[in-house]
């Protein structure tokens, strides 16, 4: 017989207290036992899940340390094929991290006119440590350094090639470090291009970005040196109109590539172009493009010192665009043909927009041919729709290169006066336009 039948026999049908006592085993004790068994099972699973994990973590940590010790012992005999980890911070995607490259970056106090060197340069041998940096020196800048600048620049040798080290200073906070490595990730994400400087890697401590060095550094300084050397009988700087078309075509190629990646440069000018030993031109100064990509509230006129290179719609507080890059490219052509003259030198930066609204434009330099000046005017058209597209601009530059004079060297007799240039270009007296 069932338990229900048994309880019915022992208790009267209307005696509910008796019936509850008869069912206490099924109603109270069994559920309590089931709950206890569930808790014991859950505790056992937690022990199995987490305790071995901690043991494996300790084992892996010791193994990792042992591996690095072994790597250091065999540095002289075998070089790793890849460096996939970056100590202290995850490497941005696509960047070749330079593991184990620690470098003391404190600069000694030096007397004036003496090039600063590092207080303690890493000791390198010719047989081993060929991944390290050697011959590290502080990079001299053209103008005085802005005290708020968070990046120090150094020249060094790495793997038998010249490199530039962009080192974040010790005073940088966490946000600035994130932005520093975010810029490296942004540049790496653009991918390689023959007319963009090569990003060679990053270092976590000190925070450092390693970029290829181009022998002549920025184009503006190179143009100024052409002025000085042209006054001598033996000049190694020969800027011809054909050379202008060639270098401008290389910059335009890089600019078209950036546009294809959804990036607006917004900072095109001679100071934003680097020049290699073979006079190859490479476009740099991508900081504004990075800020525009990562920050939604970047203003159209954020670069106050750039006003004389900005298109009129940007001066009018509209957003930068591909066509505004084309306008700035026209100003770059003007800089090249004048060997580094500032545009609209006779105007204050605050007067420029009104000047352009009256239909005024850049005057033709005496060193500029009709074909090159026509190209400058087309790039610097008031109406953005009337400016060249990048593909049209590259076609015009290629045609101009084929027909341009490659023998007559452009000469500007006046030497460059830095103070006057800063004033006429709209820069502050302590502005630092260093490009790396």
Q: Which domain holds residue 366?
A: 219-425
Overall average pLDDT of the 290-311 stretch: 73
Phi-psi region of 100 (alpha: psi -120 to 50; beta: other; left: phi over 0): left
Claim to verify: residue 209 and residue 223 sit in the same structural domain: no
Domain final residue pick, 179, 213, 247: 213
Claim to verify: residue 292 and residue 157 sit in the same structural domain: no
- Residue 90 class from Cβ within 10 Å (0-12 exposed, 13-18 middle, 19+ buried)? exposed
pLDDT tens, residue by residue, 412-429: 888 888 889 988 998 753
The residue among 209 and 237 whose pLDDT is bigger is: 209
Overall average pLDDT of the 258-263 stretch: 95
Residue 433, in any domain of the structure: no
Claim to verify: residue 296 and residue 228 sit in the same structural domain: yes
Tell me the C-alpha distance between 75 and 57, whole Å: 27
Residue 7 contacts by C-beta under 8 Å, 6 or more apart in sequence? 19, 22, 23
pLDDT tens, residue by residue, 75-95: 334 433 333 333 333 444 444
pTM over 0.75: no
Domain final residue pick, 194, 213, 232: 213
pLDDT exceeds cutoff 70 at 309: yes
Instruction: Give the total residue count for the chain.
Output: 436
Claim to verify: residue 273 and residue 378 sit in the same structural domain: yes
The residue among 305 and 323 whose pLDDT is bigger is: 323
Residue 31, in any domain of the structure: no
Q: How confident is the model at residue 232 (pLDDT cuts 50, 70, 90)?
A: low
pLDDT exceeds cutoff 70 at 228: yes
Q: How confident is the model at residue 416, as a pLDDT?
A: 87
Claim to verify: residue 262 and residue 408 sit in the same structural domain: yes
Structure tokens at 219: 């184009």
Q: How confident is the model at residue 142, as a pLDDT?
A: 52
Opening angle at CA 253, ends 247 and 256, nearest 5: 140
Overall average pLDDT of the 282-300 stretch: 80
Q: How confident is the model at residue 366 (pLDDT cuts 50, 70, 90)?
A: very high
Q: How confident is the model at residue 71, as a pLDDT?
A: 39
Overall average pLDDT of the 396-405 stretch: 94
Tell me the C-alpha distance between 366 and 380, whole Å: 18
**Nearest CA among 248, 418, 414, 218 for reference residue 331:** 248
Tell me the C-alpha distance between 172 and 182, whole Å: 14
Tell me the C-alpha distance between 118 and 116, whole Å: 7
Tell me the C-alpha distance between 105 and 348, whole Å: 40
Q: Residue 265: which CATH number?
A: 1.10.510.10
Tell me the C-alpha distance between 273 and 220, whole Å: 8
Mean residue pLDDT across the chain: 76
Of 56-60, 104-108, 273-277, 368-372, which range is least confident? 104-108
Percent of all residues in the chain with a pLDDT value above 90, rounded to a whole number: 46
Claim to verify: residue 234 and residue 380 sit in the same structural domain: yes
Claim to verify: residue 248 and residue 324 sit in the same structural domain: yes
Distances, alpha carbon 64 to alpha carbons 69, 100, 195, in Å: 9, 14, 40
Q: How confident is the model at residue 27, as a pLDDT?
A: 64
Say if CB 278 and CB 284 are below 8 A apart: no
Q: How confident is the model at residue 104 (pLDDT cuts 50, 70, 90)?
A: very low
Q: How confident is the model at residue 134, as a pLDDT?
A: 82
Domain count, the chain: 2
pLDDT tens, residue by residue, 146-188: 444 788 889 899 888 899 999 998 888 999 999 999 999 999 9
Distances, alpha carbon 379 to alpha carbons 56, 80, 261, 314, 323, in Å: 64, 50, 22, 15, 9
**Nearest CA among 202, 156, 152, 200 for reference residue 172:** 152
Q: What residue has token string 């007319």?
A: 195
Tell me the C-alpha distance between 280 and 249, whole Å: 10
Claim to verify: residue 194 and residue 227 sit in the same structural domain: no
Overall average pLDDT of the 253-277 stretch: 95
What is the three-state SS of 379-431? HCCCCHHHCCCHHHHHHHHHHHHHHCCCCCECCCCCCCCHHHHHHHHCCCCCC
**Nearest CA among 211, 348, 230 for reference residue 282:** 211
Residue 175, in any domain of the structure: yes
pLDDT tens, residue by residue, 27-65: 677 777 888 888 888 888 878 766 644 444 443 444 444
């Amino acid at each position: 017989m069932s338990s229900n039948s048994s309880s019915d026999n022992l208790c009267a049908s209307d005696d509910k207290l008796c019936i509850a006592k008869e069912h206490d085993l099924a109603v109270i004790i069994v559920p309590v036992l089931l709950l206890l068994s569930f808790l014991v099972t859950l505790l056992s699973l937690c022990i199995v899940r987490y305790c071995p994990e901690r043991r494996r973590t300790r084992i892996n940590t010791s193994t990792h340390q042992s591996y690095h010790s072994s790597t250091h012992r065999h540095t002289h005999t075998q070089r790793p094929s890849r460096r996939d980890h970056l100590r202290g911070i995850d490497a941005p995607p696509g960047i070749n991290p330079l593991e184990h490259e620690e470098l003391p970056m404190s600069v000694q106090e030096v007397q004036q006119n003496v090039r600063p060197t590092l207080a303690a340069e890493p000791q390198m041998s010719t047989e081993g440590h060929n991944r390290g940096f050697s011959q590290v020196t502080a990079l001299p800048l053209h103008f005085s350094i802005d005290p708020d600048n968070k990046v120090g620049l150094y020249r060094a040798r790495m793997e038998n090639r010249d490199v530039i080290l962009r080192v974040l200073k010790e005073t940088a906070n966490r946000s600035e470090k994130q932005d520093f490595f975010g810029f490296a990730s942004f540049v790496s994400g653009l991918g390689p291009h023959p007319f963009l400087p090569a990003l060679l890697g990053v270092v976590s401590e000190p925070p450092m970005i390693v970029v290829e060095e181009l022998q002549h550094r920025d184009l503006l300084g190179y143009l100024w040196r052409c002025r000085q050397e042209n006054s001598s009988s033996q000049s190694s700087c020969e800027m011809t109109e054909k050379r202008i078309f060639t270098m401008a075509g290389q910059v335009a190629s890089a600019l078209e590539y950036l546009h294809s990646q959804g990036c607006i440069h917004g900072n095109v000018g001679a100071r934003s172009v680097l020049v290699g030993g073979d006079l190859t031109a490479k476009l740099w100064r991508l900081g504004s493009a990075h800020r525009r990509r990562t920050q939604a509230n970047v203003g159209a006129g954020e670069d106050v010192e750039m006003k004389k290179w900005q298109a009129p719609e940007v001066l009018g507080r509209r957003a930068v665009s591909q066509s505004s890059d084309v306008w700035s490219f026209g100003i770059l052509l003007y800089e090249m043909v004048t060997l580094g003259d500032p545009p609209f030198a006779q105007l204050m930066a605050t007067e420029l927009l009104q000047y352009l609204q009256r239909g005024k434009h850049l005057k033709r330099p005496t060193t500029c041919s009709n074909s090159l000046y026509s190209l400058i005017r087309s790039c610097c058209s008031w109406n953005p729709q009337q400016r060249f597209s990048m593909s049209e601009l590259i076609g015009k530059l290629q045609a101009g290169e084929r027909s341009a004079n490659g023998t007559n060297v452009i000469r500007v007799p006046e030497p460059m006066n830095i103070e006057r240039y800063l004033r006429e270009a709209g820069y502050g007296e302590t502005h630092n336009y260093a490009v790396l």
